[in-house]
């Protein structure tokens, strides 16, 4: 590469314009949230509807939601169509909020290990999830939402988002998991990015 060519290459800029989301909601249902796949509205006290931009992602998430719901780790599903899914509206605190209040405990780590084991049993193979999408249900269960990408072409073993979302509590979590589950600890600690994930916790 000549300096001149390198200079020219350095001047190329590539960006993605922010995608604009349009919503038409004549009955004024409460918008709970929106993300990459669609928008979610509360339709009564116990149910919400996720309306997808693309029917493919609706089909795909319906499949993973059903697998998860059967094992009790996803919202119950009540109805679906090509472009939407009506499901249980979760009001329990998310793992993200729960940790801010309660910190990380051995018991919570155990529950998360059980959740990862259940991912494996139901056929999910992305063993990672954002703490904002995990709900701490009363009793000892947890439910996850936004599962459209839980089945990947190749397994994802390092729980980057999960540990990362815990901030400084990620250290406690990993230490508990080292004792509780040599299997998951082994998957993580043998991963080439593990040290980097741990060094970024604060
Ligand atoms: N079953 C549910 N119960 C409660 N809140 C939900 C539920 N499903 C989605 N939400 C809320 O709506 C937001 C967007 O839904 P999500 O499934 O993450 O959509 P996307 O796939 O577009 O990211 C979530 O971050 C969450 O706050
Ligand atoms: Mg989301």
Query: 48 in ligand 1 pocket by Cβ < 6 Å?
Result: yes
Ligand 1 atom 8 nearest Cα: 145
Instruction: Please list, in sequence order, all residues whose beta carbon lies within 8 angstroms of the beta carbon of residue 96, skipping any fewer than 6 positions away.
Output: 130, 131, 132, 134, 165
Q: Interior CA angle at 79 toward 41 and 114, to 5°?
A: 85
Q: State the distance from the centre of ligand 2 to the C-alpha of 35, rounded, in angstroms.
A: 5
Instruction: Please list, in sequence order, all residues whose beta carbon lies within 8 angstroms of the beta carbon of residue 53, skipping any fewer than 6 positions away.
Output: 21, 37, 38
Residue 19 has pLDDT above 80, yes or no: no
Distance between CA atoms of 116 and 62, rounded to whole angstroms?
A: 20
Query: 116 in ligand 1 pocket by Cβ < 6 Å?
Result: no
pLDDT at 16: 83
φ, ψ for residue 142, nearest 5 deg: -135, 150
Q: State the distance from the centre of ligand 2 to the C-alpha of 146, rounded, in angstroms.
A: 5
Distance between CA atoms of 159 and 161, rounded to whole angstroms?
A: 6
State whether the Cα torsion 48-39-163-71 is positive or negative: positive
Query: 148 in ligand 1 pocket by Cβ < 6 Å?
Result: yes
Q: How confident is the model at residue 138 (pLDDT cuts 50, 70, 90)?
A: very high
Other CB atoms within 10 A of residue 16 CB: 5
pLDDT at 199: 98
How would you classify the pairing of strands 30-34 and 142-144? Answer: unpaired
Closest to 151 in 3D by CA, of 126, 131, 129, 130: 126
Question: pLDDT of 46-101, one tens digit each?
Answer: 999 999 999 999 999 999 999 999 999 999 999 999 999 999 999 999 999 999 99
Query: 61 in ligand 1 pocket by Cβ < 6 Å?
Result: no
How would you classify the pairing of strands 77-80 and 134-136? Answer: unpaired
Asked if the 30-88 domain carries CATH number 3.30.200.20, the reply is yes
Distance between CA atoms of 187 and 202, rounded to whole angstroms?
A: 22
Q: State the distance from the centre of ligand 2 to the C-alpha of 64, rounded, in angstroms.
A: 15
Quote the pTM value. 0.93
């Amino acid at each position: 590469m000549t300096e001149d060519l390198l200079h020219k290459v350095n001047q190329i800029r590539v960006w993605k314009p922010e995608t604009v989301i349009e919503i038409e909601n004549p009955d004024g249902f409460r918008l709970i949230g929106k993300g990459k796949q669609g928008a979610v509205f509360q339709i009564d006290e116990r149910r919400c509807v996720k309306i997808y931009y693309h029917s493919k992602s609706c089909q795909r998430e319906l499949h993973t939601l059903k697998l998860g719901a059967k094992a009790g780790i996803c919202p119950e599903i009540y109805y679906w169509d090509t472009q939407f899914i009506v499901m249980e509206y979760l009001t329990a605190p998310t793992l993200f909020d729960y940790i801010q209040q309660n910190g990380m405990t051995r018991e919570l780590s155990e529950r998360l290990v059980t959740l990862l084991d259940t991912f494996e049993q139901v056929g999910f193979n992305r063993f990672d999830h954002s703490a904002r999408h995990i709900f701490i249900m009363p009793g000892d269960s947890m439910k996850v939402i936004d599962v459209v990408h839980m089945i990947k072409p190749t397994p994802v073993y390092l729980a980057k988002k999960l540990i990362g979302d815990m901030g400084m509590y990620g250290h406690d979590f990993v230490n508990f998991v080292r004792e509780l589950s040599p299997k998951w600890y082994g998957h993580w600690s043998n991963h080439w990015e593990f040290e980097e994930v741990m060094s970024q916790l604060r």
